[in-house]
Structure 1
Amino acid sequence: MLTAAQILAFLATAIVLTATPGPDNLMVLSMGMSRGRRAGIAFGLGCALGCLSHTLLAVIGVSALVAASPLAFTLLKVAGGVYLVWMGVQAWRHAGAVRVGGEAGDATPLRQLFLKGLVANAINPKVVLFFLSFLPQFVVASQGQMEWQLGLLGLLFTAQAVVLFGLLGYFSGSVGAWLNRRPNAGLWLDRLAGTVFIGLGVRMMTSR
C-alpha cells in the first residue's frame, strides 16, 4: 500500500517535526521533570495516541472532498500549503523562545495523566489543521486507495510519536536540563522544522 520511499520520507519528516520543541513535547518534558518518569511517559503516550482521532478526521475529510469535487481538493491543498508556510515562518520568528519548566506537580494518578494528554491532543484544532495539511503531502495518487494511504500514514505518525514521547518522558530530566543549558539547540531545531514546513507548504501549493 505504501512504498518504502514513501515510508522513509514520511518518517524522516515526522520525526523532525515531532522532536522540535512545541506545546506537546514541552509538556511531556515538564511533567517528567516535576512528577517523574512514569508521569511523563503516561502523559506523552496520551498525547501521541490522540493523533488517532486526527487521522480519522483526515481520512474522512480528505476522502469526502476528493469524492465531491476535485476543485475542492485543490483548494484544500492550497489552503493547507499556506497554513504550513505560515507555521514555518512562525517557527523561524519564535525560534529558541521556549524553555522547559520543572515545577512541582500535583498527585494526579497516571491514568488521569494519560487521559489528560489524550484529550488535550484530540481537541486541539491546530493539530487537526496540521494533519489535514501534512498527511496528503505523502499520498501518491497513482497508487490509488487514498483512504488507506492516509490511514496508514496517520498510524505511522502516531507510532513514531509514541516512541519519541515515551523516550522524552523517560529521559525528561536529562533532556530538559540539556535543552535549558543549550538554548541554541532549540533554536536550530525550530529553524529546521520551520524550513521543513515552508518547503512542504510550497510543494503542496505548486504540485498537481
Structure 2
Amino acid sequence: MTGTLLTAHLGLAWATYLVNAGSPGPSNMAIMGMAMNAGRRPALWLAAGVVSGSWFWGVLAALGISQLLAAYSTGLIAMKVVGGLYLLWLAFKSGRAASQPHAPDNTATAAANASARTLYLRGAAMHLTNPKAILSWLAIVTLALPPGAPHSVALAVVAGCMVLGVLIFFGYALAFSTPTARRVYTTARRWLEGLLAAVFGFAGLRLLQSATHH
C-alpha cells in the first residue's frame, strides 16, 4: 500500500470522526448545558469523562475486541436497554427543569459543587452505555484499514481521533462556559432545557426501539 493511499484512508477516518463527534448529540448537549448552567470546571470534568469513554471504545475497536462485543447480540441488546434508560432519565431531569418558571437556586450550585469524580463518571457513563459508540468506532477503524493495511494503522487512526476528541469535547466546555453563553442560558434556560430533554428522550427511545427490534 502506498503512503498516499494510506494517508487518504487516515484522512477519511479522521474526517468521519470529526463530523460524528462534533455534531450535536447527547454528549455534546450535556457538556453544553453543564457549561452554561454550572460553569467551566464542572463542564470540563464532564467532558473528561466523555473523552475517556470514547477512548475506551476506540482502543477496543483498534484491538478488534469490540467486534466480538458487537457479535454477541444479547450483550449488545442489554447495553442498548441500559443506555436508553439512562438517556431517558437525563431527559426526565431536563424536562423537569424546563417545566419550572425559575431554576431552583440549588440546581446550579449542586452541579458546580459536585465532586470531580462524580462529574467524570457521569460523562464516562454516557459513552460507556452507548452502543452507538462501539459501532461508530468500528466503522471509523474499518475506513482506515483497507486490504493490505498494517494493523498499526488502526492505532494511528485512534490516536488521531483521541486528539480530535479532546479538542471537540473540551472545546464545547470552554466555548459555552463564557459569560456571554451563560447570559444566554439565563434568558433562554427553559428552551434550552427543553431542547436537552428532547435530544435525550429521542436518543433514549431510539436505543430502546433498536433493542426490541434487534
User: Once the 2 structures are TM-superposed, how far is the Cα of residue 151 of structure 1 from its aligned partner?
Assistant: 5.8
User: Once the 2 structures are TM-superposed, how far is the Cα of residue 197 of structure 1 from its aligned partner?
Assistant: 3.8
Q: Which residue of 1 aligns with 2:135?
A: 137
Q: Which residue of 1 aligns with 2:4?
A: none
Contact kept? 2:44, 2:170, Cα under 8 Å: yes
Contact kept? 2:51, 2:166, Cα under 8 Å: yes
Contact kept? 1:28, 1:169, Cα under 8 Å: yes
Instruction: Give the Cα–Cα distance (whole angstroms) in 1 for the partners of residues 159 and 204 of structure 2.
Output: 21
Q: What amino acid does structure 2 have at the position aligned with 1:83? A: V
Contact kept? 1:85, 1:199, Cα under 8 Å: yes
Q: Which residue of 2 aligns with 1:84?
A: 83
CA deviation digits over 1:107-149, x for unaligned, max 9? x9xxxx9xx54x444344624533x524213131743476666
Structure 1 vs Structure 2 CA RMSD:
4.2
Q: Does 1:11 align with 2:28?
A: no
**Aligned pair partner of 1:190 in 172, 189, 197:** 197
Q: Which residue of 2 aligns with 1:177?
A: 186
Q: CA 1:203–1:4 in structure 2 vs 1: closer, same or farther (change >3 Å)?
A: farther
User: Once the 2 structures are TM-superposed, how far is the Cα of residue 206 of structure 1 from its aligned partner?
Assistant: 6.0
Instruction: Give the Cα–Cα distance (whole angstroms) in 1 for the partners of residues 202 and 68 of structure 2.
Output: 33
Contact kept? 2:69, 2:75, Cα under 8 Å: no
Contact kept? 1:55, 1:150, Cα under 8 Å: no
Identity, in percent, stands at 9
Equivalent runs, 1:13-162 vs 2, <5 Å: 15-20=24-29, 22=30, 27-32=34-39, 40=40, 42-60=41-59, 63=63, 65-66=65-66, 71-72=71-72, 74-98=73-97, 99=103, 101=107, 117=116, 119-124=117-122, 126-127=125-126, 129-130=128-129, 133-138=131-136, 139-140=138-139, 142-143=142-143, 144=145, 153=161, 155-162=163-170
* SS of residue paired to 1:169: coil
Instruction: Give the Cα–Cα distance (whole angstroms) in 2 for the partners of residues 156 and 81 of structure 1.
Output: 26
**Aligned pair partner of 1:168 in 176, 179, 203:** 176
TM-score normalised to structure 2 length: 0.59
* SS of residue paired to 1:96: helix
TM-score normalised to structure 1 length: 0.60
Q: CA 1:190–1:5 in structure 2 vs 1: closer, same or farther (change >3 Å)?
A: same
Instruction: Give the Cα–Cα distance (whole angstroms) in 2 for the partners of residues 197 and 78 of structure 1.
Output: 13
Which structure's CA Rg is the greater one? Answer: 2
Give the gaps of 5 or more residues in structure 1. 33-39
Instruction: Give the Cα–Cα distance (whole angstroms) in 2 for the partners of residues 94 and 43 of structure 1.
Output: 17
Give the gaps of 5 or more residues in structure 2. 1-9, 98-102, 146-152
Instruction: Give the Cα–Cα distance (whole angstroms) in 1 for the partners of residues 28 and 187 of structure 2.
Output: 14
Q: Which residue of 1 aligns with 2:7?
A: none
CA deviation digits over 1:32-59, x for unaligned, max 9? 3xxxxxxx3x443343234343234334
